[in-house]
């Protein structure tokens, strides 16, 4: 659905304040998000980041923008602290070719994104497909005097850049004098640098290194930060609207991206920078070493000491959206249980809404419902505030249930407003939040059919004055958080 473009405000990490989004080209948004390094299965913290940016993408589309969403695949150059390429290390471990590893974990990543019902990006470039462009950017940076070659590797000169541009550290808030050694350069080559904060934009490869390319300086491979500078500007222009990623990328990755782009073309890459915050578990940072971690698969199956049961992907996604993308999110079993109940209640309201009919005329109830629909969009336009938007959805759920149960007179709502509610409310859930109905194996009609049968059997028991059976059905359903209510219009049910 597309409506008239409305104003939207976002928290800009660069300016450290909330700003009105003013696109470079009216009606169009260019957005780049740092994608996965495909050397292992995607972890839950990264899922949260990509789900968050998917909701931003969906919101921009819904409110009327045309969006080019670019999210890269890093398949070379992302080094471990010991200087070893992550993809190469995994390839050796699994006795596969590097590109087999890349394909295997790219497939795994895409499957997980499908499971969480996220849109595919407009363009998904890979670093290895853009080696020529990366070599060209290194040359531009050198020609402008902000990089130097040493023993076949090329390093970005942070001190000279900062002295002339006064901008290194502006995004992350780091002070140049306090910067520590860039950990993703090969530690063996620290002595080649003029300053510890200098970082490699091209690295000479050791003879045994598999993924390497010829360049004017050596046979080697590009620096991790360089990849995103090249791929973002190739598809979105020298300066584009939004650049996003996890908060852990703000420094050094994003700070070095800015430096590279300014060093190459004297232009900032993005006008707005957005960062998602980290995912905790049970109040602590996730860590494999102390067992405080859980994979998406373990979360779905319940095969983990940290959860009491398995949860569907949509219940987990709903849990994630109940916290603002810029806030830390604490994953707990209690929180997941509560979110699962809320998610089921939301899904049940869709079928309840569809069953409503009216011949009424406009009243104050129309004003109230229209105000709630507008309120949802206002929250999503205010820095994609999903927690407040979801709270508004539950206010709408209360209205829907009250109309169904007779607490609100169905004839106090006009057909026009009810039709609008039936059209927009489901779209808020599906098109903006990206929530699909995976209740009871993904088919809510099964649950509705079962409940219709149970209510019919209970009604037969009441007709026969078999109160014990009637009460047993009611109490049994209550144990599963399903509430049934008897009213003038008949018996209704909802997930509490």
Residue 208: band (very low, low, confident or very high) from pLDDT cuts 50, 70, 90? confident
pLDDT for position 459: 84
- Residue with the bigger pLDDT between 495 and 38: it is 38
Q: Which residue has tokens 């106090």?
A: 412
DSSP string, 130-176: GHHHHHHHHHHHHHTTSEEEETTEEEE-HHHHHHHHS-TTTTT---G
Residue-wise pLDDT for 303-345, tens only, equals 999 999 999 999 999 999 999 999 999 999 999 999 999 999 9
Query: How far apart are the C-alpha atoms of 199 and 41, rounded to whole Å?
Result: 28
pLDDT for position 482: 81
Q: Which helix (H) or strand (E) holds 10?
A: strand 9-12
Rg of the chain over all Cα atoms, to the nearest angstrom: 27
The answer to whether residues 139 and 201 touch, using CB atoms and an 8 Å cutoff, is no
Residue-wise pLDDT for 22-64, tens only, equals 999 999 999 999 999 999 999 999 999 999 999 999 999 999 9
Return the minimum-mean-pLDDT range out of 163-167, 208-212, 451-455.
451-455
Q: Is the pLDDT of residue 133 over 90?
A: yes
> How many CB atoms are closer than 10 A to CB 487?
11
Query: How far apart are the C-alpha atoms of 316 and 287, rounded to whole Å?
Result: 20
Query: How far apart are the C-alpha atoms of 493 and 496, rounded to whole Å?
Result: 9
> How many CB atoms are closer than 10 A to CB 44?
21
Predicted structure pTM score: 0.87
pLDDT average, residue stretch 151-162? 95
221 Cβ contact partners less than 8 Å away, ≥ 6 residues apart: 76, 77, 85, 202, 203, 205, 209, 211, 212, 213
Beta strands in 55-128, from DSSP E residues, in sequence order: 66-71
Average pLDDT, the chain: 90
For helices 224-236 and 131-143, the axis angle rounded to 10 degrees is 100
The answer to whether residues 141 and 164 touch, using CB atoms and an 8 Å cutoff, is no
Q: Apex CA 315: angle with CA 313 and CA 317, to 5°?
A: 65
Query: How far apart are the C-alpha atoms of 446 and 458, rounded to whole Å?
Result: 18
Phi, psi of 382 (to 5 degrees): -100, 75
Query: How far apart are the C-alpha atoms of 71 and 235, rounded to whole Å?
Result: 11
Residue-wise pLDDT for 429-457, tens only, equals 999 999 998 865 444 455 666 777 888 78
């Amino acid at each position: 659905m597309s409506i008239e473009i409305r104003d939207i405000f976002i928290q800009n990490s660069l300016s450290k304040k909330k700003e009105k989004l003013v696109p470079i080209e009216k009606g169009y948004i260019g957005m780049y998000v740092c994608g996965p390094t495909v050397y292992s299965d995607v972890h839950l913290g990264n899922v949260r980041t990509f789900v968050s940016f998917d909701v931003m993408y969906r919101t921009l589309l819904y409110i009327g923008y045309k969006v080019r969403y670019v999210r890269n695949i890093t398949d070379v150059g992302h080094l471990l602290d010991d200087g070893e390429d992550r993809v190469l290390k995994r390839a050796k471990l699994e006795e596969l070719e590097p590109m087999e590893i890349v394909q295997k974990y790219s497939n795994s990543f895409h499957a997980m994104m499908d499971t969480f019902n996220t849109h595919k990006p407009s363009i998904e470039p890979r670093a290895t497909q853009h080696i020529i462009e990366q070599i060209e950017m290194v040359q531009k940076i050198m020609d402008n005097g902000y990089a130097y070659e040493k023993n076949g590797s090329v390093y970005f000169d942070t001190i000279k850049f900062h002295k002339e541009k006064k901008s290194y550290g502006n995004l992350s808030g780091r002070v140049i004098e306090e910067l520590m050694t860039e950990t993703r350069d090969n530690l063996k080559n620290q002595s080649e640098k003029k300053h510890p904060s200098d970082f490699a934009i091209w690295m000479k490869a050791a003879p045994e290194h598999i993924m390497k390319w010829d360049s004017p300086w050596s046979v080697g491979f590009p620096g991790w930060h360089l990849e995103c500078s090249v791929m973002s500007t190739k598809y979105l222009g020298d300066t584009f609207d939004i650049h996003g990623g996890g908060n852990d990328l703000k420094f050094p990755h994003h700070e070095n991206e800015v430096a590279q782009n300014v060093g190459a073309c004297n232009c900032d890459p993005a006008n707005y920078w957005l960062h998602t915050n980290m995912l905790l578990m049970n109040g602590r940072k996730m860590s494999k070493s102390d067992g405080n971690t859980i994979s998406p698969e373990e979360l779905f199956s319940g095969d983990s000491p940290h959860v009491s049961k398995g949860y569907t992907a949509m219940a987990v996604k709903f849990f994630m959206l109940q916290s603002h993308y810029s806030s830390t999110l604490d994953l707990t079993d209690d929180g997941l249980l509560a979110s699962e109940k809320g998610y089921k209640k939301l899904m049940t309201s869709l079928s309840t809404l569809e069953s409503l009919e009216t011949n009424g005329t406009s009243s104050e109830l129309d004003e109230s419902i229209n105000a709630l629909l507008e309120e949802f969009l206002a929250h999503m336009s205010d820095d994609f505030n999903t927690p407040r938007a979801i709270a508004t959805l539950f206010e709408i759920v209360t209205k829907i249930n009250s109309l169904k149960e007779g607490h609100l007179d169905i004839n106090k709502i006009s057909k026009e407003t009810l039709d609008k509610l039936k059209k927009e409310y489901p779209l808020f859930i599906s098109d903006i939040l990206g929530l699909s109905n995976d209740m009871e194996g993904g088919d809510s009609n099964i649950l509705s059919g079962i409940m219709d049968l149970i209510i019919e059997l209970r009604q037969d028991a009441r007709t026969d004055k078999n109160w014990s059976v009637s009460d047993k059905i009611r109490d049994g359903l209550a144990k599963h958080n399903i509430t049934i209510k008897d009213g003038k219009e008949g018996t209704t049910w909802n997930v509490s």
